[in-house]
Amino acid sequence: MNKKEVVYVVSDSVGETAEFVVKAVATQFNGGQVDIRRSSYVEDHEDIEDVIILARQTKSIIAYTIVIQDLKKYLDRRAAEEGIMAVDLLNPLLSAFTKKFDKDPNNQPGMMRKLDDDYFRKIEAIEFAVKYDDGRDPRGVLRADIVLAGVSRTSKTPLSMYLAHKRFKVANVPLVPEVKPPDELFKVPRGKVVGLIISPDKLNEIRKERLKALGLTSQANYASYERILEELDYAEKIMKRVGCPIINVSNKAVEETASQILDILKSERSSN
């Protein structure tokens, strides 16, 4: 490739896939000196005709990722008529998938972009859960899709991460008698807040195990029955002030509690 050749990249979506493939191939020829001109979101014959005219004038290759069959057939036909080399980057693999899975493709443009958007929403939700974990920044309470409130060791953090993987932005707020809850907790729409409680016996057991894992004595105030009753009583008073639904997480798996939270969220939305 002694000069900078022109390749027209045509897609009924963004065209990033086609451009990436063209660049990858171009690197095999004298350093990849190729002028890629992208034509995205083609939606009718007129769009394709514009590319055909340009490619004919510059004697260029057309590389395309088009899944709308009418547009694909039109491009193939017009390229053949004009003597233009047009390369379908998707069809060989689509045909292989069709034969292997005995199923026809959806032929809907932009599916990869939808998957990417879904992925990035998940990553954003995970980052949100980390940033606003354990009441670190009360501003997250007002920005969250779901707010979890409860005493220590009621699975607030695991639930936040689990729900984040389902693309919900979750903030959680610890309820401790010595620490005034953030004002934001009382400003959140009631349907977004869920209180988490647990039986005193179960919490005592969990906290003792936690202290043991940290190499501390199980007699510490953190795990004392009196302290636990005080915290649970305080937490329930705050939850009543907020007016939020309450879930008892005793002996519940994270998945089970998360399912209940989502059911509550769905119920609240449908009633508004």
Q: Is 157 annotated as a binding residue?
A: yes
β-partners of residue 36 are: 7
Give CA–CA dist 69/107, Å, rounded. 7
Q: Is 207 annotated as a binding residue?
A: no
Q: Where are the beta strands (DSSP E) in 153-271?
A: 170-174, 193-197, 246-248
Q: Is 153 annotated as a binding residue?
A: yes
Containing 40, the helix (H) or strand (E) segment is none
Contacts of 225 (CB under 8 A, 6+ apart): 200, 204
Q: Is 83 annotated as a binding residue?
A: no
Q: Where are the beta strands (DSSP E) in 136-175?
A: 146-150, 170-174
Say whether 272 sits in a helix, a strand or coil.
coil
Q: Is 155 annotated as a binding residue?
A: yes
Q: Is 42 annotated as a binding residue?
A: no
Give CA–CA dist 222/216, Å, rounded. 11
Q: Is 141 annotated as a binding residue?
A: no
Give CA–CA dist 46/35, Å, rounded. 23
Return the closest-CA partner of residue 163 out of 218, 211, 125, 111.
125
Q: Is 67 annotated as a binding residue?
A: no
Give CA–CA dist 47/187, Å, rounded. 51
Give CA–CA dist 244/181, Å, rounded. 15
The answer to whether the CB of 64 falls within 8 A of the CB of 10 is: yes
List residues forming the annotated binding site: 150-157
List residues forming the annotated binding site for ADP: 150-157
